Amino acid sequence: MITRIYLRPTGFVDAPFGYDGQVLRLAGGLIWFSAVELIRVEHGRRVSQQLLPVGDLDAVLDDRGRAVLARIIAPRPPLRLGERTIRFDQPQVMAILNVTPDSFSDGGKHVGDPEGAAAAGVAMAAAGAAIIDVGGESTRPGAAAIWEGDEVGRVEPVIERLARAGVAVSIDTRKSAVMTAALGAGAALVNDVSALTFDEEAMGVVARSGCPVVLMHHQGTPETMQKDPRYGDVLIEVYDWLETRIAAAEAAGVPRDRMLIDPGIGFGKTMAHSLALLNGLSLFHGLGCPIVLGASRKRIIGALDNEAPSSRRLGGSVALALKGAEQGVQLLRVHDVAETVQALKVWRGLRDEALTPRN
């Protein structure tokens, strides 16, 4: 019987001082943890889970477990996007810039206005966003795929303007032709909600270009993904699926240090599934890649707040961003840049004070 071991960092502490041998640093960031939840899984089902102090791990873990722990604590290398370098020793913001007529929150805001869209992107960068994520096709629940030519026509002029302004740009697409056009226009990162499964040519585009890529978990397609999604253990199943996609990308020639992973909040998940993923985010550090969290203005916020529309989900969006930051998430994909950046500055101030040694 094959037993797999999973490690979820927990028991977070304010600072490591005075805890020699009792705490470990999470992914080279600003978080230290004093324990792990060790989860044993057989045939896809949890058979046991226990909390272990980090000081006891060496005596308990086998070679595979030690390899997972090594990935959990290893610093994530900086992301180099053209002339820009994005460091992951603290959480960064990826701003959402949709040039679509039908995105769930901001659809239609910038359609047919590449100048205005680019100006909005530059403003978000000035407000503190490290990356501007440009999308030309809605992947909201129920959205239908569009022709790649229309998608290119929407994103290409915006990306060209942003790149000329010196902004780090990513392209949010599932299609190889759109990836190719966007990278040619100046985008430096591919953010694919299908994790390079929608278009069989996409993997080759990413591998040949050498660009970084975000691999996001999903179940189904935007048209079908919210029609009764089911999991046995959502945290473990999403982890395993992402591990498989990382392996596939490595086999195709994409280095692991050029990959980021996203658990896909709301993409083929019920509210309960998404909340379980948010509570267990630190598990995904075991994959050894920077974590992207996209929970901004999503349906779960409205569901928890009397069906608040997307325009009234700022508080919930910031709360979920900080939930990610406190579990070591490296990249927060958001609509409300200035507010999220301010929240992170306050969070960082708290961390800095705690990490200042006292004589």
> Of the residues 140, 161, 269, 333, which is catalytic?
333
Question: Known catalytic residue: 227?
Answer: no
* 176: Cα separation from own chain's centroid: 21
Pair 92, 131: CB distance under 8 Å: yes
Q: How far apart are CA 122 and CA 137, in angstroms?
A: 21
Which of these, 347, 329, 336, lies nearest to 297 by C-alpha position? 336
Q: Are strands 3-13 and 32-42 parallel, antiparallel or unpaired?
A: antiparallel
Residue type, 289: C
Which of these, 317, 335, 328, 318, lies nearest to 351 by C-alpha position? 328
**Beta-bridge partner residues of 132:** 95, 169
> Please, which residues have CB within 8 angstroms of residue 152's CB and are 6 or more apart in sequence?
136, 177, 178, 181, 182
> Of the residues 175, 269, 298, 313, which is catalytic?
298
**Beta-bridge partner residues of 207:** none
Q: How do the residues of the chain divide into helix, strand and coil, expressed in percent and rounded to 5?
A: 40, 20, 40
CA 32, 281, 135, 181 dihedral sign is: positive
Question: Known catalytic residue: 333?
Answer: yes
Which of these, 145, 277, 268, lies nearest to 199 by C-alpha position? 145
Pair 184, 155: CB distance under 8 Å: no
If DSSP codes are grouped into helix, strand and coil, which group holds residue 219?
Answer: coil
Catalytic residues: 298, 333
